[in-house]
Structure 1
Amino acid sequence: MRTPVIRVEQVTMKFRMNRNKTDSLKEYCINILKGGLQYSEFTALESINFEVFKGERLGIIGHNGAGKSTLLKIIAGVMKPTTGKVTRIGSIAPLLELGTGFDGDFTGHENIYLNGALLGKSKEEIDSAYNDIIEFANLGEFINVPIRNYSSGMRAKLGFSIATSINPDILILDEVLGVGDQAFRKKSTSKMLEMINDGKTVIMVSHGIGQVKTLCDRVLWLHEGKIKQIGTPEKVCCDYIEYMNEISSV
């Protein structure tokens, strides 16, 4: 029997949204003192249950606002769900947003050590992976330039290089393979396949359905914060494309 390395149980995420229009901090404070603030509740995820097994590649698809990125943040431990729990076994490298964990005033070189430390790696482990990170990112002299001067593509290259070079047990990706130039997308996809063949567990969000079919062996379709379908890439992706074509023709 396979043992899950990630178990998501009855996860629900709700947000409170301010219904008052406030243009300044002063106005916000006055509304608080007067008891005039009104909130509406938004449910981003509702009763989510699934498991991910060691070495599995799970793709998560769905239209914008379906709750995909929120789910990844909860799995990675960046956010705490309103109710429910997530159990994780093994080290996780989350690559959720461009530049997450980077300090704009630090150089690329310094941010390698900062980001690696945030991912729970020791200086010795980062030293061991440093040359691989530099080679994969291919930033040239920019590695010694402050991150604030990087383009979004350069940040993506460095972030992806760090996350994939520190040998995590579980890699969590949010649209990362869709950024950067064509050469980087090809190289990052090859790196993903290399990690997959090495038995790494991967959870990825992507709007690139072809990419999901190629890289994943199971797909979860999120719709309005709920699991609409989970199964093989062929079946789920086909049903999702059919659904998107239907709503686009209305």
Structure 2
Amino acid sequence: MHKTSDPAYATASIVVRDLHKDFKLRHTHSIKETVVAAVRRKPLTTDFHALDGISFTVNPGEAVALLGFNGSGKSTTLKMISGVLRPDSGKVLTRGRIAGLIEVGAGFHPDLSGRENIFLNAAILGMSRKETEARFDEIVAFSEIEQFIDTEVKHYSSGMFLRLAFSVAIHTEVDILLIDEILSVGDEPFQAKCLARIRELHKAGKTLVVVSHDLDMVSGLCERGILLQGGKVAFDGDSKEAVARMRV
């Protein structure tokens, strides 16, 4: 699923082809509500079409913004590319190592120290112990929490947790970086620092796919915008035009 075996896309970083994904929305949240709904013959669930046949290709080194209002399917698409979700039908093909900044720190264990969690989270993101050891000091320095690195992360503030988790993710050796709204949290200086690091990665030739409601940020960072509406691709082209369409 995550290798570009199709010769037609041998040089692409990401191929999304005719993706479909439905979710069931529950209308009851307790046994009592379920029984009442059943007696009244009301539907217990309805299908929500999150993705309805979207297709696009991302070339190596591109920075692409996935845009759309809430419920348009952009975060679902990002999770499909990362492998967190599987499509009901269609294909996702990727080339190279992926790091997904989708749920920052999802692989952190609260009872382990920051030091231990660096190695754990880096391993989840595909780094070897040797690679992590080589980048350890850089990861800690970027996070700016050196004095707390041997403290269990359950004692960290949300800001400290974010700093360490983000620092691990952006220091992994990746070809594709997926980013979902994580720059909307944390203080302003740290956001600026993270954005500068992401720009460095893009200049180094990494492929970026970004989901954010910060339209000014994504139009400055990404040259291409894919606008999703109702689980379909409504526009695919220059990021500034995609943003303009969002603002109409």
TM-score in same-fold range (> 0.5):
yes
Q: Which residue of 1 aligns with 2:139?
A: 133
Which is further off, 10-19 or 88-97? 10-19
Q: Is the 8 A contact 1:95 1:159 kept in 2?
A: no
Q: What secondary structure sits across from 1:144 in the alignment?
A: coil
CA deviations on 1:149-171 (whole Å, 9 max, x unpaired) are: 22333222212211111121110
Matched, 1:143 2:161: no
Q: Is the 8 A contact 1:10 1:48 kept in 2?
A: yes
Q: Which residue of 2 aligns with 1:50?
A: 56
Matched, 1:195 2:201: yes
Q: CA deviation at 1:117?
A: 0.7
Q: What secondary structure sits across from 1:109 in the alignment?
A: helix
- Paired with 1:201 and 1:22, the residues of 2 have a C-alpha distance of 41
Which is further off, 86-95 or 105-114? 105-114
- Paired with 2:227 and 2:43, the residues of 1 have a C-alpha distance of 36
Q: CA deviation at 1:106?
A: 1.4
Alignment of 1:51-200 (within 5 A): 51-200=57-206
Q: What secondary structure sits across from 1:51 in the alignment?
A: strand
**RMSD value over aligned CA atoms?**
2.3
Q: Which residue of 1 aligns with 2:13?
A: 5
Q: Any unmatched runs of 5+ in structure 2?
A: 1-8
Give the fraction of aligned pairs with identical amino acids, expressed as a percent: 38
Distance change (3 Å), C-alpha of 1:118 and 1:28: farther
Runs of 4+ in 1 over 3 A off after TM superposition: 26-29
Distance change (3 Å), C-alpha of 1:231 and 1:77: same
CA deviations on 1:107-151 (whole Å, 9 max, x unpaired) are: 211111111111111111111111110011111322222222223
- Paired with 2:207 and 2:29, the residues of 1 have a C-alpha distance of 44
Q: What secondary structure sits across from 1:227 in the alignment?
A: strand
Matched, 1:17 2:25: yes
Matched length: 237
Q: CA deviation at 1:39?
A: 2.7
Q: What secondary structure sits across from 2:46 in the alignment?
A: strand
The alignment's TM-score, normalised by the length of structure 1, stands at 0.88
Distance change (3 Å), C-alpha of 1:152 and 1:61: farther
CA deviations on 1:193-246 (whole Å, 9 max, x unpaired) are: 11111001111111111111111010111112111111101211111112xxxx
Q: What secondary structure sits across from 1:75 in the alignment?
A: helix
Q: Which amino acid in the other structure matches residue 120 of structure 2?
A: L
Q: Which amino acid in the other structure matches residue 150 of structure 1?
A: Y
Q: What secondary structure sits across from 1:4 in the alignment?
A: coil
Q: Which amino acid in the other structure matches residue 23 of structure 1?
A: S
Distance change (3 Å), C-alpha of 1:2 and 1:85: closer
Q: CA deviation at 1:101?
A: 1.1
Q: CA deviation at 1:2?
A: 8.7
Q: Which residue of 2 aligns with 1:248?
A: none
Q: Is the 8 A contact 1:2 1:53 kept in 2?
A: no
Which is further off, 49-58 or 161-170? 161-170
Q: Is the 8 A contact 2:127 2:173 kept in 1?
A: no
Q: CA deviation at 1:27?
A: 8.8
Q: Any unmatched runs of 5+ in structure 1?
A: 243-250
- Paired with 1:222 and 1:195, the residues of 2 have a C-alpha distance of 26
Q: CA deviation at 1:97?
A: 1.4
- Paired with 2:108 and 2:58, the residues of 1 have a C-alpha distance of 29
Q: Which residue of 2 aligns with 1:245?
A: none
- Paired with 1:159 and 1:89, the residues of 2 have a C-alpha distance of 24
- Paired with 2:34 and 2:156, the residues of 1 have a C-alpha distance of 35
